[in-house]
């Protein structure tokens, strides 16, 4: 892969079912089971990170488009889905993103409100790499280092 297209993170085990994820810029986040085994783990689970990635990707797209007109007074995003297990294995279904965005009164706010539906549609149809990858699907290769 070309350097300009490659994205990567590395993960290191920091405890039973807990990992520190590091990106190429040195940022870190810890992920875990979310208390699945009765512990007090408040780390995000991989599924929660998937939901956050879907919502975050769309939010960033929409923010960049609308903020050219006006800064939002409120901007919240809720992402939901059902984690199921069936003959295909564990997976998420019924993924949905709800944007709750309000802009100030006035001409700039009106302009931002005016482009909001198109921004949401553009993010869904072509801009958001995360949701586009989930919707279109892509193989995931697994390797064991030698």
Same structural domain, 109 and 78: yes
Q: For position 105, which CATH number holds?
A: 3.30.300.20
Distances (CA, A) of 44 to 14, 36, 76, 78, 127: 14, 11, 19, 15, 25
**How confident is the model at residue 35, as a pLDDT?**
75
Domain of residue 56: give its range. Answer: 45-136
Question: How far is Cα 53 from Cα 92, in angstroms, rounded to an integer?
Answer: 14
Tens digits of per-residue pLDDT, 117-134? 999 999 999 999 999 999
Same structural domain, 28 and 89: no
% of the chain residues with pLDDT over 70: 96
Same structural domain, 75 and 130: yes
Tens digits of per-residue pLDDT, 8-41? 999 999 998 999 999 999 999 999 988 766 666 7
Same structural domain, 129 and 105: yes
């Amino acid at each position: 892969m070309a350097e300009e297209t490659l994205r990567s993170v590395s993960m290191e085990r920091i405890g039973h079912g807990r990992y520190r994820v590091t990106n190429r810029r040195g940022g870190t986040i810890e992920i875990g089971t979310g208390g699945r085994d009765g512990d007090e783990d408040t780390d995000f689970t991989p599924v929660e990170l998937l939901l956050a990635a879907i919502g975050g990707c769309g939010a960033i797209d929409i923010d960049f488009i609308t903020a050219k007109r006006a800064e939002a007074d409120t901007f919240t995003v809720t992402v939901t889905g059902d984690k199921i297990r069936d003959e295909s294995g564990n997976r998420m279904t019924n993924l949905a993103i709800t944007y709750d965005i309000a802009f100030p009164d006035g001409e700039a706010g009106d302009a931002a409100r005016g482009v909001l539906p198109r921004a949401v549609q553009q993010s869904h149809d072509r801009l958001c790499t995360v949701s586009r990858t989930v919707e279109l699907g892509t193989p995931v290769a697994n390797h064991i280092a030698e």
